Amino acid sequence: MRQLKAFVCAVLIITFLLCSFSAASGLNKNTFGIFVDSSGVYACESTDYNVAVRSLNNSTQYKYSYNNKVLSYCVTGGVLYALNSTNQSRIVTVTAAKNGKFTKTVTFKTNNVPNNTRLGVDSEGMIYIFDNRRRAEIYNSKGSYIKTTANTYSSLTQISGNVYASNSSGIYRLNSKSETQVCKCKADTLVYAVSKDCAATLYGNVYNLNSGKEALTTDSKKPYSITLSSNYCFALKNSTMYVYDKKNRKLLNSYALAYSPYAVCAVGSRVYTISDTSDGFSVKKYKESVFLSAGSTNNSKTYQTPSNIKFGSYKLKGKYIFLPPRTTKAEFRENISYNDYKLKFSSTRGLGTNTKAVFTKGDKSYTYTIVVLGDITGTGYTTKNDEGIMFNCLFGLDKVGGVYKTAADINGDGKLSNIDLVMIDRKKDSLG
């Protein structure tokens, strides 16, 4: 059951990322995109007949409204291009807009274009549109048909004035004359920009589009939103930011946020997270040093706690806080002091094992992970499910690690044994 839940969760995450990093899809109410352009970096949100564009370089934002539904969009040379449906079959328009004004509209006929098509416009004004055969149709800036690509592709993306497509053979640079393979790699998932010369796949691999070589591998089993700064790679999964050293490709740190952004992007020495809110998308800016200062994955290191955050009678070990079973959020707040810090929890439910308690003030953030001894499933108390997992671990049928192993090691001797199993059984009996 736990494996099934993990599989379903992974599928949902991948589906969400497909909506987040692709050009806007007409099948979704809200779609999001990050475009690394020669003129800067742009975050976009589309809602049926509207597209909002925010420059992460200068914080300017414009919203454009269209008479017809937006099927896809992209940013090239600081210009937003939107592909719109019309009331006529196979007739579409591509409208250019900049600085809050529409500048040009091209109307032309295509082959059958699906609602989940993708749009690309290169620095020469050439227009690229996915058709229902998974090929890219290419038109000139006046809407005249030029050709259709020979290869089929699974993804189309826009990076610094160039249009790239990907399939199971690799990543290709497209133009009106050729389809040039620039990276030989497994790229039959969505490919998206992470810097002006690099792209990433949902496998977590980053490729340099100039050299064709793999620049970095994060985690091939988990979908990420990835971005590159001068020295670091920031990989976002759910509410955790993982920081890698670009030179030696090693994981330096992990940092838990008090919210779950859908994308991360680095501009200069600043790191931006983009989230969806009821009022549209929200952009938060951080110094990149913030994600290196706290939340280390190495629990043996001393975890610095500010003097004005005190945990009272709760045991603190590194970044772990040990709580009694069934501790409520109200009880936790009453028994600690944190002055002018804001406190948020990663879970909307009770305080179980692996719930994050995040204290923030300005651009400073301190994250602690809650441990309830005997609670291996994160419920906040011990049940027969915890006992069953422990039993399976002792017989090699299951395995727990990290904070869950800490919760399972009730006697604190650093290993799981029959003693821990007996103690879990007693906790289960006493708590029901």
pLDDT attached to residue 280: 66
pLDDT at 26 over 70: no
Check residues 239 and 44 and name the one with the higher pLDDT: 44
pLDDT attached to residue 30: 56
pLDDT in tens, 390-414: 888 887 777 777 788 889 999 888 8
pLDDT attached to residue 303: 54
pLDDT at 118 over 60: yes
What is the arithmetic mean of pLDDT over 21-26?
33
**Which residue bears the tokens 């002006």?**
196
What tokens does 271 get? 């790191």
pLDDT in tens, 173-190: 999 999 999 999 888 878
**Which residue bears the tokens 């790699």?**
185
Q: How many CB atoms lie within 10 A of CB 94?
A: 24
The region that residue 414 occupies, defined by phi over 0 for left and psi between -120 and 50 for alpha, beta otherwise, is left
pLDDT attached to residue 14: 38
Going by C-alpha positions, the residue among 366, 313, 315, 377 that lies closest to residue 338 is: 366
Q: What distance in Å separates the CA atoms of residue 291 and residue 257, rounded to the nearest whole number?
A: 10
What dihedral angle (degrees, nearest 10) is formed by the CA atoms of 266, 44, 14, 277? 100
Question: Structural domain boundaries of the chain?
Answer: 2-293, 298-432
DSSP lists the bridge partners of residue 73 as 82
User: Quick check: helix, strand or coil at residue 256?
Assistant: strand
pLDDT at 293 over 50: yes
pLDDT attached to residue 22: 36
What is the arithmetic mean of pLDDT over 408-421?
87
Average pLDDT of the chain is: 83
pLDDT at 301 over 50: no
Describe the chain by its helix, strand, coil percentages, rounded to 5: 15, 40, 45
pLDDT attached to residue 51: 94
pTM score over 0.75: no
What is the arithmetic mean of pLDDT over 267-277?
85
pLDDT at 172 over 90: yes
Predicted confidence band at 429 (pLDDT cuts at 50, 70, 90)? low
Q: What distance in Å separates the CA atoms of residue 72 and residue 421, rounded to the nearest whole number?
A: 55
Check residues 134 and 365 and name the one with the higher pLDDT: 134
Cβ distance 68 to 49 under 8 Å?
Answer: yes
What tokens does 272 get? 């931006």
pLDDT at 105 over 80: yes
What tokens does 204 get? 């977590």
Predicted confidence band at 427 (pLDDT cuts at 50, 70, 90)? confident
pLDDT attached to residue 271: 94
User: Quick check: helix, strand or coil at residue 214?
Assistant: strand
Q: Residue 34 corresponds to which amino acid?
A: I
Going by C-alpha positions, the residue among 383, 391, 400, 399 that lies closest to residue 422 is: 391
pLDDT at 27 over 70: no
What is the arithmetic mean of pLDDT over 133-139?
92
pLDDT attached to residue 15: 38
Predicted confidence band at 304 (pLDDT cuts at 50, 70, 90)? low
Q: Range with the lowest mean pLDDT among 147-151, 204-208, 210-214, 364-368?
A: 364-368
Indicate the fold that domain 2-293 takes in CATH: Methylamine Dehydrogenase; Chain H (2.130.10)
pLDDT in tens, 373-393: 999 988 999 988 888 888 888
pLDDT attached to residue 395: 79
pLDDT at 424 over 60: yes
Check residues 295 and 146 and name the one with the higher pLDDT: 146
